[in-house]
Chains A and B, each alone.
Chain A
Amino acid sequence: MTQATAPSARALWRLLLVACLLAPAWVGAAPPQRIVSLVPGLTESLCALGACARLVGTDRYSNWPSEVQALPKLGGLDDAQVERIAALRPDLVLAAPSARAVQRLEALGLRVIVLHTRSHQDVRHNLLRLGAELGDEARAQQVWRQIEAQMAEAAARVPAALRGRSVYFEVESSPYAAGPTSFIGETLVQLGLNNIVPAALGPFPKLSPEFVVRAQPELVIAEARNLQDMAQRPGWAALRALQRQRLCSFPTERYEVLVRPGPRMGLAALQLADCLAAIGKDQGMDAR
């Protein structure tokens, strides 16, 4: 009796194994319809690919485009609210690496895609990956081409006199700067500017305030509220960029465009180029 059932039981196990192996392929075949994004840049990418309506929830920092503001806010990447995410029954969750939420959500059987958002290449890769997931790679290509076109247009708008000038991009007033290896730094390079931060310091190094003063950047870019009292920092009044008002100051909403690695990177470059063009016009930046 046992001998007779053994082969059929084994066959059943094999069938089950094959089914398990093939299951991801079947699931992957249908584009996701209910998506949770835990990263603002990925939320924006998804919307740029026309899939905003498929979002059922985001992290608390995702605020663009405006329709995502009405969606359930599910905490941040590091303190994601697992129960509320699971209750939304998403068929895809987008996240960044090194978050404990990723392990927990995967253990609950949810499909999680983990994506980096550090460089231009990452953004391109993410767009194409999301395009492939949504079954619309052509649109992803088109969005990326538009970003590239905007970057090129922005670079062309930068006055010749400003090319090669040194720049300090402040991310946070402690002060943290955007280094040349960050996605912001890559945009600055495309605009023909010269970062005062050496590449070896990494993407977002914390600088000594003295370093900035001694580097004497010819242009300073920062959020408006940080720029407001920058001259009051000890010794910073000596920055010639501050004295001569060679500044790009952005209110929070427009500043967010600059610091989000996503489909608005082209727009960010245009914003920067507009500011640089205005400086060039006002001051006729010839005398160094």
Chain B
Amino acid sequence: MQRRRRRLLWALAAASGVLMLAGLAAGGDGWSWAGFTQLLQGPDAGLIVGQIRAPRTLGAWLTGALLGLAGAVAQGLFRNPLADPFLLGSASGASLAVVAVLAAGTLGAQGLGPPAAGMLSRVGLVAAAFAGALGGVLLTLMLARGAQHTLRLLLAGVVVGVVLTAVSDLLTLAAPEALRGRQVFMLGSTGFLGWDSCLMLGSGLVLALPMAQRLSRTLDALVLGEDSARSLGLALPQLRLALICLLAAATGLAVSQAGLVAFVGLAAPHLVRRYAPGPHGYTLLASAAAGAVLLLAADVAARTLIAPQELPVGVLTAVFGGTYLLLLLNRQSPS
């Protein structure tokens, strides 16, 4: 088993390397090595490859890693293989904030008052989405009165999701011009990632991974059940709160930069556990790597499949992740 685990990590690292190269070579004019070498020799190399393709590629990888990590934390924390990073209201909170910013112009004309609306539209979509994601989770925590009870937390998350989504629906009714922007956000997009985004995502991942590693023992203990974990002397309420903060921050960061990329957070930990189950210390790291590879592969495909047009990356992650997961389940179900 140890060898399988190591093999998976090497495979993910190799896939990351190959996909990074592919990400630099693939662009608006589709997939062509000749075109790429020509581009590198031309005057546009710095702008197209250095300023656009490189940060987009790295950004997609980092976003996927954060989502994979958050997914593994969520599934461990709730001891539920169906848990995903968006479970605690971060997705609906982020989309509500995005819709509010998009609708600010119209809302300003109707009652909200121009100063408030002006302030809203000056807040960037990225900052708004991040604040919204954290706000959603905070609301869930408040409704569940802390992180002690799993079921209450999950229910509160569902309620917050439904209510905040309804509020964004209401806002888009008042300001239909926000609809298209909202749809793009919901489908996820890696097209706007620049070096500044990479810096944010990268520092997030660098902070989150060691923190997750430190908390991995808690997740391992939780596998045995909450009572056993408690009997091991773990201060569960505090540790669970720390895990939720980690989950919320990682998800919020990813969502604010790339929108609601579907399925990466759900599929990545599954792929890891199916292929090489292990303690959470390993699963968290490998899930981050698997999420990164999954999202980067989807990003490269989104750019090239119908070039010069582009597909929404979230659609592809759902198709790739979903198909692969189904194949895995099918292959293993007879045993």
Does B189 have its Cβ within 8 Å of any Cβ on chain A? yes
Nearest Cβ on chain A to B120's Cβ, whole angstroms:
9
- Residues of chain A contacted by B28 (CB below 8 angstroms): 81, 83-84, 87
B interface, over-half SS:
helix
Cβ B310 vs Cβ A75 within 8 A:
yes
Most-contacted residue by chain B among A75, A82, A97, A118 (CB, 10 A):
A82
A interface residues, Cβ below 8 angstroms from B: 72-73, 75-84, 86-87, 89, 97-101, 103-104, 107-108, 116, 118, 172, 176, 181, 200-206
Cβ A79 vs Cβ B191 within 8 A:
yes
Cβ A98 vs Cβ B125 within 8 A:
yes
Cβ B124 vs Cβ A103 within 8 A:
yes
Nearest Cβ on chain A to B179's Cβ, whole angstroms:
10
Interface flags, B122-152, vs A, CB<8A=1, else 0: 0011100000000000000000000000000
Which of B44, B101, B184 meets A79, CB within 8 Å? B184
Nearest Cβ on chain A to B205's Cβ, whole angstroms:
21
Cβ A108 vs Cβ B52 within 8 A:
yes
Q: In the bound complex, how far is the Cα of B28 from the Cα of A98, in angstroms?
A: 24
Cβ B48 vs Cβ A98 within 8 A:
no
Q: List the one stretch of B81-89, B103-111, B231-239, B274-282 in contact with chain A.
A: B103-111
Q: In the bound complex, how far is the Cα of B117 from the Cα of A202, in angstroms?
A: 15
- Residues of chain A contacted by B176 (CB below 8 angstroms): 172, 176, 204, 206
Cβ B44 vs Cβ A87 within 8 A:
yes
Check A98/B174 contact, CB under 8 A, given A79-B184, A200-B110.
Answer: no
Cβ A84 vs Cβ B308 within 8 A:
yes
Q: List 23 A-B residue pairs with CB atoms under 8 Å apart, sorted by A's residue number.
A: A75-B310, A76-B180, A78-B180, A79-B184, A79-B310, A81-B308, A82-B192, A83-B53, A86-B48, A97-B121, A98-B105, A100-B124, A100-B126, A100-B192, A101-B192, A104-B194, A108-B47, A108-B194, A181-B109, A201-B110, A203-B106, A204-B176, A204-B177
Does B265 have its Cβ within 8 Å of any Cβ on chain A? no
Q: In the bound complex, how far is the Cα of B172 from the Cα of A172, in angstroms?
A: 14
Q: In the bound complex, how far is the Cα of B111 from the Cα of A200, in angstroms?
A: 9
Does B38 have its Cβ within 8 Å of any Cβ on chain A? no
Which of A77, A83, A205 meets B48, CB within 8 Å? A83
Cβ A87 vs Cβ B192 within 8 A:
no
Cβ A99 vs Cβ B181 within 8 A:
yes
Smallest Cβ-Cβ distance to B107: which chain A residue: A202
Nearest Cβ on chain B to A86's Cβ, whole angstroms:
6
Which of A79, A107, A181 meets B189, CB within 8 Å? A79
- 7 additional contacts, CB 8 Å, given A75-B310, A87-B28? A80-B191, A82-B192, A98-B102, A107-B196, A108-B194, A201-B110, A206-B176
Q: In the bound complex, how far is the Cα of B107 from the Cα of A201, in angstroms?
A: 11
Nearest Cβ on chain B to A182's Cβ, whole angstroms:
10
Q: Which 6 A-B pairs have the closest CB atoms?
A: A84-B28, A78-B184, A78-B181, A83-B28, A104-B192, A83-B52
Smallest Cβ-Cβ distance to B111: which chain A residue: A200
- Residues of chain A contacted by B52 (CB below 8 angstroms): 82-83, 86, 108
Does B328 have its Cβ within 8 Å of any Cβ on chain A? no
Q: In the bound complex, how far is the Cα of B184 from the Cα of A77, in angstroms?
A: 10
Cβ A81 vs Cβ B180 within 8 A:
no
Which of B101, B173, B308 meets A98, CB within 8 Å? B101
Cβ A116 vs Cβ B105 within 8 A:
yes
Cβ A202 vs Cβ B110 within 8 A:
yes
Interface flags, B305-332, vs A, CB<8A=1, else 0: 0001110100000000000000000000
Nearest Cβ on chain A to B48's Cβ, whole angstroms:
6
Smallest Cβ-Cβ distance to A104: which chain B residue: B192
Q: In the bound complex, how far is the Cα of B109 from the Cα of A99, in angstroms?
A: 19
- Residues of chain A contacted by B181 (CB below 8 angstroms): 77-78, 98-99
Interface flags, B159-184, vs A, CB<8A=1, else 0: 00000000000000111110011011
Q: In the bound complex, how far is the Cα of B187 from the Cα of A78, in angstroms?
A: 12
Q: In the bound complex, how far is the Cα of B109 from the Cα of A204, in angstroms?
A: 12
- Residues of chain A contacted by B189 (CB below 8 angstroms): 79
Check A82/B106 contact, CB under 8 A, given A100-B125, A176-B176, A206-B173.
Answer: no
Does B68 have its Cβ within 8 Å of any Cβ on chain A? no
Cβ A202 vs Cβ B47 within 8 A:
no
Nearest Cβ on chain A to B303's Cβ, whole angstroms:
8
Contacting residues of chain B (17-60) with chain A, CB-CB under 8 angstroms: 27-29, 44, 47-48, 51-53, 56
